[in-house]
Structure 1
Amino acid sequence: TAASPSQTSRQSPLVWNALVGRLDSGFPSWICRMDKYLVKRPRLSAEAPRNPPGQCDPADGVPPHDGGTSAPSVDTLGAISAATADTPRSASWSAPTVGNVLESASKNGEATTGKPSTHGRPEQTRPAPAKGNGGRGFLKSWESTYSWLSYNAQTGKVYCDTCVTATDKKLPLPRTSRDKDSLIAFVEIGFQNWKKALQRFKSHENSALHRAASIALTASNMGLNVASALSESKQNQMKESRKALMAILSSIRFLAFQGLALRGHDDDEGNLKQLLLLREADVPGLAAWLSRTGYKWTSGDIQNEMLELITHSMLRSLMKEVHETGFYAVIADETSDITTQEQVSFCLRYAKENLEVEEVFVGFYATADTRARTLFSILKDVLCRFNLRIENCRGQCYDGAANVSGKSGGLQALVQDIEPRALYVHCLAHTLNLSLQDLCTKIDVCRDFVSLFTDLVNFVKTSPKRLSWFQQFQKQENPALRQFCKTRWTLKACSLRSVSSNYSELTKFLFTLSSEEKNDTGAKASGYAKTLQKFDTYFLLRLMLLVFERLESVNTALQKKSLQFTRAELLVKAVEESIGQLREDFSSFWADVSDEEREMEIGAPSVPKRPRQAPRRYDEGSHAHDFNSPEAFYRQRFYLVIDTVHASLRTRFPPEMWHHMTQVEQFVTGETDSTYLCEFYKGDLNAVRLQLHRDMLLDIAKQRATSLVTFQDVVDLLSGKAGESLRVLLPEVVKLLQIAMTIPVTSCSSERSFSCLRRVKTYLRSTMGQARLNHTALLHCHKELARQVDLDLVANEFIHRTVVRENTFHVEI
């Protein structure tokens, strides 16, 4: 087997010249005749590619470039750009140190080479370089730009003096595939691809091989340890690289918990790139990192990986709290995103040892359908991912849809088949809203009023021209018109109030619009204005507002995360009593409405002249009641609305709903024993210790003259710093309170996550993947926890994932 060119060149310069076929005429003829016995490089046919796929021509001097997607090798010692930067030499001499080596190794590789003999090839007087490659040839001006270049007239190729000398001295140099190609092109065979000369010269000058050769050769000439010089240079550059990595991580975290997009249609115009450019002035070395030609670790895949690491770090701390409490409850709801993809939102509720309640969002999960079995599979997958046992679930809260609330095949039933102690709660906020829906659908006049009211507000607000015109009539202190939404829990009363405050101005505007516009718009405005002039319309507006304000104040209170079930029961019972009490207040209500009617010059109340006669097949021959006064007529309408709402509340909040929590409350306040609770929570509580600790609690409360009447009284006594000693003394009672407070009241946390979904996955970001959506949404929902994530630990985990990163970034211990 013939020796390689590098081995042959080290044995004899004559053999080297014979191998490349460039013998000088001064050598003996017998040497020239040896040329036919030497192994020559085979000529490639015109059809065959010059190199196998994935490789480059060694004459090009650089490995194949994949656009920045291929990772550098582990052994690359050339990531020492700081060591090869141009540094002016000092006039005074000092003892050689590693620092002097870094200063002496210049960017152009001017390590004291003294123009060596080009790896065994004596440099000869240069004749006019032969033209080739389309008439191109070597230019002498290149040597002034790249001082390490050396042109060999015999071979017609250029070599790198620095790398040749370092190779001859057998100094430690990188041996990766990319460095090997550069070694072949500029050390062993030579470079002559003049078409790409400037590009390849610059690439070689910035290569790991050339930089390592410059530092190693300078250290060798100064009598220093080469490995030590390379090691310190490498460590310094890895530390600088870590600073850039930390800037990237912190920027991604900031954009994520602010709910902002990282990328754009053009990556260079994306928020992440622009934020990093903005931070160049504050982060040393970031500008150099962003301008490098190699890996920058800012691609879309890397962004996803960093988001995943930050999110997982946050979730680990979050799940640590859940595991410490021991018990949890599940809250779930479904919605569709901007792409109509069904998303299931999951939240967990738990009570900490100090009796503080937390509800935390844990992610969105895409699903093709919302059948109970499918949702149950997703739920089990979620619990498995967080290492939570379904046997520790003590509550579940969903809306009233049949797929989740069904008693036989619903999600709650499937969970209770495995864990019967996981009590199901129909979201109280949804239930209260359904009571309002009953009012708006079961009574004809209320249904018609809501439809009219919705159309009227939309008629004004959907036209910029009409809205601007109306604002000229509106008083400065009056609120703006708000649209009426049937599904928004706390905006109905606000919308009604906005119309009530602007009633006179709205009527004047509609009459003016009717007289000015002679088209369909004017006709609609005239109809709306005449309707507002009727006493019946204003009476219904005030009556609906009277009911909605009371119910929505309760709905607002129900949405608190810290609300526990017994407190919710008190709120619902209070609003039932308040609605029932309104029956006694008709006289005062009628007087107020009548006074306002006279002030606003609305039509006077009257009894309908021709009451509608129902067909006999429906009324069984009964006669309609004749009202002798307008007050009597509107009294009947008032009672109808009040009774409908009151009956709906009693039906949708039956006493059985509160049975379990009533038993808990009666036990902790001393009214009953622990029989029911110990039977229900068998395995969770120790019956003997629970009874003992309850009795001790009552004795302590009696000694302190503290009245324990409700469940909340017991919680107040044991919570906070004041109750810390009691919690240590009475652990079994505390455990019972924790389990009871774990039972959810509403699914509002899942509803809030839908707002997050609409902020994160917008029309412009509709192609976002599910994993990226989940990570971004979690960071956006848990901003405070995201700020507490230790980015140094995240960076270390990111670095240790691949050996390439370990060779590029410094690891903080």
Structure 2
Amino acid sequence: MDKYLIRKPRTQDSSPVQDSSSSSKRVRVDFNLENLPSYPGLREKISSYHPNNHDEIRRYYLTKDPCQPVDDYPVSYFSEKPRRFRSEWYVNRNWLEYSINKDVAFCFYCYLFGQDVGKQGGGETFLVKLDSYVGGVNSAHNQAVKKSEDLLKEKQHIQSVLVKQSNQDKIEYRVELNAIVDCIRFLLCQELAFCDHDESQGSSDKGNFLELLQFLGDHNESINEVLQKFWKNCKLTHHDIQKDIVNAIARETSKAIIKDLDNGFFSILVDESRDISVKEQMTLVLRYVNKKGIIIERFLGIVHVASTIALSLKYAIECLLCEHNLNLSKLHGQGYDRASNMQGNINGLKTLNLKENKSAFYVHCFAHQLQLTIIAVAKNHINIAEFFYVVSNLVTIVGGSYKRRDALRDAQFAKIKEDLENGVCRSGQGLYQETNLKRLGDTLSSFCTILDIPILNMDEIFVFSGRPRRNTQQNTNLHYYCVELFYTVIDMQLQKLNNCFSEANTDLLLCMACLNPSNSFVAFDKEKLIRLAKFYPSDFFGTDILALDSQLQNYIFDMRNNDLFLELQGVSELAEKLDNTRKHETYLLVYLLVMLALTLPVATATVERSFSEMKYIKNELRNRMGDQWMNDCLVVYIEKDVACSIDIETIMQRFQNMTTRRR
């Protein structure tokens, strides 16, 4: 080209000439598929991205469901008449989307393939009725729908047309992909690493994934033939392919969880903790009652939060819920610890959610309550604090040195062996374990007798250690240990526990206790159950309260005269039995109360287990794992029972639709 063109020399002070049209060029937006917003009101226009990335971004949104949140939509006034969006408009309109923050409806397909008009593709609002928006066969909307369908049909892609394959090649490709998906799902459910290894053909450290795939091929001739055939040009073993498959499994797992929820109300259990790379991670767990009356707690996801203030956590929760088409209007319970950013009465996460939804009651985690109560008692009661201080020192002295541990272990082993030989003690399964503690009744008398320690007589006068106190009332040993020690500690515990509950929460829990079916529904109280219904005004309207009154009367008579309900031990068993006997259809309002009581969280054990499992997924050897990669692995690993139940064809189809594949 140089002999046809004369290059203009450039000096150091010369700057490139910009024509007048350069200023009118659009600024291209950098993107990351993991960070693309789900809210339609927050999305950038498709034209703002580089043209080479348009199809990839469109395909990403097409693999996700349209944003259709169900909420108490705000009211707007047109011509002095109130108007609001309705959730029933979603029916038979899979193209309709709604933005909560903007109170605006969008067309999903016109955003992806519509003309570049306004702030969103296809315009920002509907200027016509929904029924007439679709238009005729050749309307702009239907053309956008057709383009979306064509994008997901890979056989119509230019890349696929250029690659001519026989039916046999496609069958072999599916056999290979099926085997790879099976291997990855197995490794994820067993929490076995399959990345960060030398996966080259001649490597001796290929990692679990390639080793398992090779093992599968060695024991299946058809799979082995396919692996050998495609080993050079279509291995499907690259790290990016592995991450895409894991993402497909995770998305289908989350989709199955949301389907099981079936647009019902739920509670959230939230906590934050740092991972191995010192990044603050927030875990969110859903608690709900499924259609069979069974309490379910499912891990929804883990989100990296740069700030742990309440507003940041609330925004992260809303984004995660919106990604799965869930909304805070269905939130009927919150479970956190006692951190100020969580349960603060002014700007805590609990308070922010309660301002939007009055039914999102907060119950402090019972496990944390008990732990904090014991700690408070140990610090405030002198005798209890002294006891724990001595025990702590003893554990520190013995456990701080491996020599002392071994010496104690050997001495105890020799003593037990001698006692067994002399017939002093008996052998048996589970006896004399190092980490087990005997009950008080098993140690007190025998221990004192063997070591010649005088056994305390509870009827004698209690003697204080040290110098005798003046004018001290003399009491028996029984009075001291029972009244001055035991009753005092119990009273301190009760006071501490009562401080953890607000008056409203206490009344709420007392009303819920009336649903307990134990001892032939002895705790039943109709007035308290009606008061319980008034705690949820969005679920029980004025006429429902009147209907509940008469329904409760029939319900308790039926329950106490039905042998199937006499041996129940808890509200969870009651819900399952009502569903199995189809009594929940007869007593709809009572069953609604039961579901609300079960939905309210009482412990955050599932969240704590999620953080424990995070340490297995992201450990010191895999401390550079990305947020999306870690989230996908955790979803599949924690909810392995759901992940294993998903049809492999569904996973393969989602994987194929993620991006343009050769087959």
TM-score by length of 2: 0.63
Match of 1:682 in 2: 537
Residue number among 679, 690, 702 corresponding to 2:557 in the alignment: 702
Deviation at 1:343, TM superposition (A): 1.8
Going from structure 1 to structure 2, the CA distance change for 1:671 and 1:646 (only over 3 Å counts) comes to same
- 2:332 aligned with 1:394: yes
Going from structure 1 to structure 2, the CA distance change for 1:785 and 1:470 (only over 3 Å counts) comes to same
Larger radius of gyration: 1
Cα deviation digits, residues 535-562 of structure 1 (max 9, x gap): xxxxxxxxxx87xxxxxxxxxxxxxxxx
- 2:175 aligned with 1:238: no
Cα deviation digits, residues 68-103 of structure 1 (max 9, x gap): xxxxxxxxxxxxxxxxxxxxxxxxxxxxxxxxxxxx
Partner Cα distance (2:444, 2:571) in 1: 45
Residue number among 603, 607, 610 corresponding to 2:466 in the alignment: 610
Going from structure 1 to structure 2, the CA distance change for 1:601 and 1:665 (only over 3 Å counts) comes to closer
- 2:658 aligned with 1:801: yes
Deviation at 1:281, TM superposition (A): 1.7
Deviation at 1:440, TM superposition (A): 2.0
Contact 1:331 1:750 in 2 (8 A): yes
Cα deviation digits, residues 23-56 of structure 1 (max 9, x gap): xxxxxxxxxxxxxxxxxxxxxxxxxxxxxxxxxx
Cα deviation digits, residues 310-335 of structure 1 (max 9, x gap): 010011010112234x2111111222
Residue number among 251, 262, 282 corresponding to 1:312 in the alignment: 251
**Aligned pairs for 1:35-54 within 5 A:** none
Going from structure 1 to structure 2, the CA distance change for 1:624 and 1:671 (only over 3 Å counts) comes to farther
Deviation at 1:341, TM superposition (A): 2.1
Residue number among 210, 218, 225 corresponding to 1:281 in the alignment: 218
Match of 2:607 in 1: 750
Match of 2:188 in 1: 256
Contact 1:427 1:747 in 2 (8 A): yes
Contact 1:439 1:641 in 2 (8 A): no
Match of 1:406 in 2: 344
Partner Cα distance (1:662, 1:305) in 2: 49
Identity of aligned residues (%): 24
Partner Cα distance (2:595, 2:194) in 1: 41
Higher RCO structure, 1 or 2 (CA under 8 Å, sep 6+): 2
* Residue aligned with 2:346, SS: coil
Partner Cα distance (2:173, 2:633) in 1: 26
Match of 2:354 in 1: 416
Partner Cα distance (1:715, 1:800) in 2: 41
Going from structure 1 to structure 2, the CA distance change for 1:265 and 1:758 (only over 3 Å counts) comes to same
Give the stretch that moved more between structures: 749-758 or 441-450: 441-450
Deviation at 1:355, TM superposition (A): 2.4
Contact 1:670 1:698 in 2 (8 A): no
Contact 1:457 1:481 in 2 (8 A): no
Match of 1:67 in 2: none
Deviation at 1:767, TM superposition (A): 2.0
Going from structure 1 to structure 2, the CA distance change for 1:705 and 1:799 (only over 3 Å counts) comes to closer
Deviation at 1:674, TM superposition (A): 7.2
Partner Cα distance (2:284, 2:604) in 1: 10
Residue number among 217, 229, 235 corresponding to 1:296 in the alignment: 235
Residue number among 693, 702, 719 corresponding to 2:576 in the alignment: 719
Going from structure 1 to structure 2, the CA distance change for 1:402 and 1:709 (only over 3 Å counts) comes to farther
Going from structure 1 to structure 2, the CA distance change for 1:353 and 1:604 (only over 3 Å counts) comes to closer
Partner Cα distance (2:273, 2:177) in 1: 37
Contact 1:665 1:711 in 2 (8 A): no
Match of 2:547 in 1: 692
Going from structure 1 to structure 2, the CA distance change for 1:730 and 1:239 (only over 3 Å counts) comes to same
Match of 1:151 in 2: none
* Residue aligned with 2:325, SS: coil
Give the stretch that moved more between structures: 598-607 or 257-266: 598-607
Match of 2:199 in 1: 267
Match of 2:30 in 1: none
**Aligned pairs for 1:198-213 within 5 A:** none
**Aligned pairs for 1:437-586 within 5 A:** 437-474=375-412, 475=416, 478-482=431-435, 497=437, 501=438
Cα deviation digits, residues 659-701 of structure 1 (max 9, x gap): 0233355599453287645543223124434543552453354
Contact 1:686 1:732 in 2 (8 A): no
Going from structure 1 to structure 2, the CA distance change for 1:687 and 1:628 (only over 3 Å counts) comes to closer
Partner Cα distance (1:309, 1:676) in 2: 46
Partner Cα distance (1:312, 1:676) in 2: 41
Match of 2:495 in 1: 651
Going from structure 1 to structure 2, the CA distance change for 1:462 and 1:265 (only over 3 Å counts) comes to farther
- 2:310 aligned with 1:367: no
Q: CA RMSD in A?
A: 3.8
Contact 2:381 2:489 in 1 (8 A): no
Contact 1:436 1:645 in 2 (8 A): no
- 2:195 aligned with 1:351: no
* Residue aligned with 1:350, SS: strand
* Residue aligned with 1:355, SS: coil
Partner Cα distance (1:715, 1:387) in 2: 27
Contact 2:334 2:361 in 1 (8 A): yes
Partner Cα distance (1:267, 1:295) in 2: 15
Give the stretch that moved more between structures: 670-679 or 408-417: 670-679
Contact 2:337 2:343 in 1 (8 A): yes
Cα deviation digits, residues 456-511 of structure 1 (max 9, x gap): 334434544443333322237654444xxxxxxxxxxx6xx2xxx5xxxxxxxxxx
* Residue aligned with 1:423, SS: coil
Structure 1 residue runs of 5 or longer lacking an equivalent are 1-175, 179-208, 210-229, 483-493, 502-544, 547-588, 613-622, 809-813
Contact 1:277 1:287 in 2 (8 A): no
Contact 1:674 1:690 in 2 (8 A): no
Contact 1:363 1:778 in 2 (8 A): yes
Going from structure 1 to structure 2, the CA distance change for 1:711 and 1:427 (only over 3 Å counts) comes to farther
Contact 1:344 1:365 in 2 (8 A): yes
Paired residue type of 1:297: L
Structure 2 residue runs of 5 or longer lacking an equivalent are 1-156, 418-426, 457-461, 517-523
Deviation at 1:404, TM superposition (A): 0.6
TM-score by length of 1: 0.52
Paired residue type of 2:253: M
Deviation at 1:416, TM superposition (A): 0.6
Contact 1:328 1:395 in 2 (8 A): yes
Contact 2:267 2:287 in 1 (8 A): yes
Partner Cα distance (1:698, 1:714) in 2: 18
Partner Cα distance (1:466, 1:715) in 2: 49
Paired residue type of 1:338: I
Cα deviation digits, residues 704-747 of structure 1 (max 9, x gap): 64399999777755633775332122222222221222111111
Cα deviation digits, residues 211-244 of structure 1 (max 9, x gap): xxxxxxxxxxxxxxxxxxx97x622122112111
Deviation at 1:247, TM superposition (A): 0.9
* Residue aligned with 1:292, SS: coil
Deviation at 1:603, TM superposition (A): 7.9
Match of 1:599 in 2: 450
Deviation at 1:611, TM superposition (A): 3.8
Contact 1:332 1:397 in 2 (8 A): yes
Going from structure 1 to structure 2, the CA distance change for 1:709 and 1:672 (only over 3 Å counts) comes to farther
Match of 2:318 in 1: 380
